[in-house]
Amino acid sequence: MKSAETVSRSVTDSPIIVALDYNDRSQALAFVDRIQPASCRLKVGKEMFTLFGPQFVRELHQRGFDVFLDLKFHDIPNTVAKAVAAAAELGVWMVNVHASGGARMMRAAREALLPFGKDAPMLIAVTVLTSMEASDLADLGLTTSPADYAMRLARLTQTCGLDGVVCSAQEAVSFKRELGAGFKLVTPGIRPAGSEAGDQRRIMTPKQALRAGVDYMVIGRPITQAAEPALALCDILASLNGEA
Ligand SMILES: O=c1ccn([C@@H]2O[C@H](COP(=O)(O)O)[C@@H](O)[C@H]2O)c(=O)[nH]1
């Protein structure tokens, strides 16, 4: 069996994954040091990984957080398989690929994780980015709706044996009905009432997303760009617990 870096998984039932999209490591860690691993998991994406690399992920692990490495691998099967195995060696909790990379690519990624056994990260695939709407698909020559195209990619992902998909919370009810409760739904595009949608198009509030049955909601700017990010996280958690 291949070994992952020794990382003890945090024990949290929080559905929140905070997208740590900062360009400043100290600012990111100042926020992280004000929250608890029981409150949320953390997502490291293309910006922070490009700036600060695997060492930054290790620093989050040392602080007890589970990390979703959101690099959305999309390449030939051999390259994606090796990248996913490198993520597993780093000990991340979750890693992802683009479903539009196709079935052979997704199967290669899944097979690359087999040697890690129970230490393998969850492997999920991005369906249709939550920033996309029908007109964006039309630009690509796709005349289907984002929800229908996302469903098509989610079915393919499930057939390939992955653990779940990234989709919009707007798609959660129909995906859970069709793909089953065990197939994980990870949903960015979460916006508390009154917060800016920005570049996101298929959005829902945290409470709506929870009711729709998502497993994990990814929240970035509504927390990280708030005047008090740790307080913004607390407020969202309270709203999910029916306290606000
Ligand atoms: O379809 C997708 C896939 C990934 N993301 C990522 O989630 C966060 C969302 O951040 P916000 O600031 O809450 O919009 C960001 O890191 C994206 O890269 C996504 O938004 N949609």
- For residues 126 and 72, is the Cβ–Cβ distance under 8 A? yes
Q: Is the pLDDT of residue 107 over 90?
A: yes
Per-residue pLDDT band for 241 (boundaries 50, 70, 90) equals very high
Q: Is the CB of 19 under 6 A from ligand 1?
A: yes
**Mean pLDDT of all residues in the chain?**
97
Q: Is the CB of 130 under 6 A from ligand 1?
A: yes
Tell me, what's the pLDDT at 6?
80
Compute the average pLDDT of residues 104-120.
98
Tell me, what's the pLDDT at 229?
98
Q: Is the pLDDT of residue 112 over 70?
A: yes
| Bridge-based pairing state of the strands 184-187 and 164-166 | parallel
C-alpha of residue 100 to centroid of ligand 1, in Å: 17
- For residues 194 and 179, is the Cβ–Cβ distance under 8 A? no
Per-residue pLDDT band for 163 (boundaries 50, 70, 90) equals very high
Helix locations, 124-220, DSSP H: 134-139, 146-159, 172-179, 206-212
- For residues 15 and 217, is the Cβ–Cβ distance under 8 A? yes
Atom in ligand 1 nearest the alpha carbon of residue 199: 14
Q: Where in the chain does DSSP place strands (E)? A: 16-19, 41-44, 67-73, 94-98, 122-126, 164-166, 184-187, 216-219
Q: Which residue from 20, 21, 124, 233 has its CB within 8 A of the most atoms of ligand 1, so it is best to mutate?
A: 21
Tell me, what's the pLDDT at 178?
98
Compute the average pLDDT of residues 138-165.
98
For residue 166, the one-letter residue type is V
Tell me, what's the pLDDT at 32?
98
Does the global pTM surpass 0.80? yes
Q: Is the pLDDT of residue 193 over 90?
A: yes
- Hey, how many other C-beta atoms are within 10 angstroms of the C-beta on 1? 10
Residue 61: closest CA among 23, 104, 32? 32
Per-residue pLDDT band for 183 (boundaries 50, 70, 90) equals very high
Residue-by-residue DSSP string for 223-243: HHTSSSHHHHHHHHHHHHTT-
- Give the position of tokens 């996302």: 150
Separation of alpha carbons 234 and 35, rounded Å: 9
Nearest CA to ligand 1 atom 1: 129
Tell me, what's the pLDDT at 11?
81
Tens digits of residue pLDDT in 15-71: 999 999 999 999 999 999 999 999 999 999 999 999 999 999 999 999 999 999 999
Tell me, what's the pLDDT at 59?
98
- Hey, how many other C-beta atoms are within 10 angstroms of the C-beta on 105? 24
Per-residue pLDDT band for 79 (boundaries 50, 70, 90) equals very high
Please tell me which residue in 2, 72, 82, 176 is annotated as part of the active site.
Answer: 72
- Indicate if 13 belongs to the active site: no
Name, in order, each residue with C-beta under 8 angstroms of 181's C-beta and a sequence gap of 6 or more: 213
Q: Is the pLDDT of residue 104 over 90?
A: yes
Per-residue pLDDT band for 244 (boundaries 50, 70, 90) equals low
Compute the average pLDDT of residues 180-190.
98
- Indicate if 70 belongs to the active site: yes
Separation of alpha carbons 58 and 64, rounded Å: 10
For residue 110, the one-letter residue type is R
The response to whether 75 counts as a known ligand-binding position is yes
Separation of alpha carbons 91 and 63, rounded Å: 14
Q: Is the pLDDT of residue 8 over 80?
A: no
Phi and psi angles of residue 120, each rounded to the nearest 5 degrees, phi first: -65, 145
